[in-house]
Amino acid sequence: MSETAIKLRKREKTSLFDQVKELLPDGGNLNLCLTCGLCSSGCPATGLVSMDPRKMLRMIALGLDEEVLASDWPWMCTMCQRCIYACPMKIDIPQLIYNIRAQRPREERPKGILGSCDMALKNDTNSAMGTNEEDFIFVVEDVLEQYQEEQPEFAEMQAPIDKEGAEFFLNQNSREPVTEPDEMVPLWKILHLAGVDWTYGSKGWAGENYCMFLADDDAWKHVVQTQTDQTHKLKCKTYLNTE
């Protein structure tokens, strides 16, 4: 039975291997990696499409850039950073993943993430569901009124929007006002019972940032800028990120 040897290509100056070296701490050397697998042990994406962080790093070390860039696995990484804490060499694998994603043409990136990012850019709510300011305000006020009436113990509960000077600017998963509005209420109750001074913003209230996962720097910055601008406009002291 014949065996086909893996052909290793000559590394280019812009190879992923060079990017890894830039992400290593001082004195780090990828060539000394013992393939211990600690990076993979706690990775929630380990095993998906037969890939894991350890295997990806070894492929990069062997110059298999094309295979890594063509793989869908980098898009399954949650960027949770568990691998960094586990790695004895402290390689910033999530940053490497981001670099890999950014090298794929934007129009060829996963449609779900791409569509959600583009939708978030359509209005200043940043909603990946396309919810505009008027619809968000209507849903919040409608749900609040319902619970104030049905649960007398929460008759005084508030869900303010654009309240100036609140301690916390609260964000919200953009799916819930559209598909699961009742899921917003438990947090309102907690904040109410704790006596927290908070507010939503009519702008920048959507908490998730699909543009970050898309590796689109300009769009990512736009979403964050919208959130911070509204927080400063309302003179809130703390941005409370639920996502």
- 199 burial level (CB within 10 Å; 0-12, 13-18, 19+): buried
Note the pTM of the prediction, 2 decimals.
Answer: 0.82
Mean pLDDT of 41-61: 91
Mean per-residue pLDDT of the chain: 89
Look up residue 111 and give its two tokens. 């449609």
User: Judging by beta carbons within 10 Å of its beta carbon (0-12, 13-18, 19+), is residue 127 exposed, middle or buried?
Assistant: buried
Tens-digit pLDDT profile for residues 198-214: 999 999 999 999 999 99
The burial class, CB within 10 Å (0-12 / 13-18 / 19+), for 166 is buried
More confident residue, 18 or 104: 104
Under the banding of pLDDT at 50, 70 and 90, the label for residue 15 is confident
Q: What are the domain boundaries of the chain?
A: 16-104, 111-240
